[in-house]
């Protein structure tokens, strides 16, 4: 059985995630000069589905559901996951500054609970800045890959992975991101996690 994460591992991992989130929040409230619209015809034809605000908002809680699962099963995967989140966020921060993208949101006049939650909470608190790549997608992909690397029974890991997939899709359906944001998020998430995982695995093998 793989070794569980130690208290030192836990403290280090939480610090990595906290720094990543803090850096994003700082950039999320820094104004931009000229914003770029990266939307395509496909994006503009995308339906607005307010109910998907639920998986969208579940993103942060999911990060902290995945954490104890990884920590209890494998110290190596836990550390790779946390470091990958930090590295990926630093890469995204640079891209947010180099490519100041935005999302053009449609008018939402419905008064159902999901529409109110999306319009009056998500859209008001989360300005359409720092959209390329999608933070939600990048972190979700890293979590999906980290869970897959544990090689646990699919009967309880798979639902988590499917829900994380819904988080990725939700970014488009609530007009928080466009397709290019999703694609770049998937690419960064995959590259950073596998790179981090491979480097840590090789370092452990040499010990």
pLDDT of residue 65: 84
Residue 175 placed within a domain = yes
CA distance 139 to 192: 10
Q: What is the dihedral of CA 51, 167, 74, 9, to 10 degrees?
A: -90
pLDDT at residue 25 in the model? 85
Q: Are strands 101-102 and 36-37 parallel, antiparallel or unpaired?
A: parallel
Q: For residue 63, what are the domain limits?
A: 7-28+36-206
Over pLDDT 90: what percentage of the chain?
Answer: 70
Res 202: pLDDT: 86
Contact 189, 139 (CB under 8 A): yes
Give residue 118's pLDDT. 96
pLDDT digits (tens, 9 = 90+) for 97-122: 999 999 999 999 999 999 999 999 99
Q: Quote the tokens at residue 191.
A: 């590259």
For residue 134, being part of any structural domain is answered with yes
pLDDT of residue 31: 67
Residue pLDDT, tens place only, 65-109: 888 889 998 999 999 999 999 999 999 999 999 999 999 999 999
Whether pLDDT at 180 is above 80: yes
Give the integer Cα–Cα distance in Å for 189 and 138: 5
Q: At 60, is the pLDDT very low, low, confident or very high (cuts 50, 70, 90)?
A: confident
In a domain, 46, yes or no: yes
Structure tokens at 93: 């921060």
Confidence of residue 1 (pLDDT cuts 50, 70, 90): very low
Q: Looking at the 3D structure of the chain, how many domains does it have? A: 1
Q: Which residue has the tokens 């009056």?
A: 120
Has residue 1 been placed in a domain? no
Distance CA(57)–CA(109), nearest Å, equals: 20
pLDDT at 49 over 90: yes
Q: Report pLDDT digits (tens) over 127-138.
A: 888 999 999 999
Is the confidence at residue 2, as pLDDT, over 70?
no
Asked if residue 2 is part of any domain, the answer here is no
Q: Report residue 54 as tokens.
A: 């639920």
Confidence category of residue 203, pLDDT binned at 50, 70, 90: confident
pLDDT for the residue numbered 62:
84
60 in a structural domain: yes
Residues 6+ apart with CB under 8 A from 171: 56, 134, 136, 137, 177, 181, 182
Greater confidence, 155 or 145?
145
């Amino acid at each position: 059985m793989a070794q569980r994460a130690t208290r030192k591992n836990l403290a280090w991992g939480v610090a990595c995630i906290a720094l990543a989130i803090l850096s994003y929040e700082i950039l999320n409230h820094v104004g931009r000069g000229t914003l770029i619209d990266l939307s395509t015809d496909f994006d503009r034809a995308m339906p607005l589905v307010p109910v998907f605000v639920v998986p969208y908002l579940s993103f942060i809680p999911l990060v902290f559901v995945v954490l104890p699962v990884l920590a209890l099963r494998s110290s190596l995967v836990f550390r790779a996951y946390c470091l990958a989140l930090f590295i990926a966020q630093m890469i995204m921060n640079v891209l947010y500054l180099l490519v100041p993208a935005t999302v053009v949101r449609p008018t939402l006049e419905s008064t159902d609970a999901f529409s109110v939650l999306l319009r009056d909470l998500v859209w008001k608190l989360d300005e359409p800045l720092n959209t390329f790549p999608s933070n939600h997608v990048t972190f979700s992909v890293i979590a999906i890959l980290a869970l897959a690397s544990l090689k646990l029974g699919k009967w309880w890991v798979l639902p988590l992975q499917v829900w994380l997939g819904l988080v990725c899709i939700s970014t488009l359906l609530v007009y928080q991101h466009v397709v290019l944001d999703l694609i770049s998020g998937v690419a960064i998430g995959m590259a950073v996690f596998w790179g981090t995982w491979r480097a840590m695995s090789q370092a452990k093998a040499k010990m």
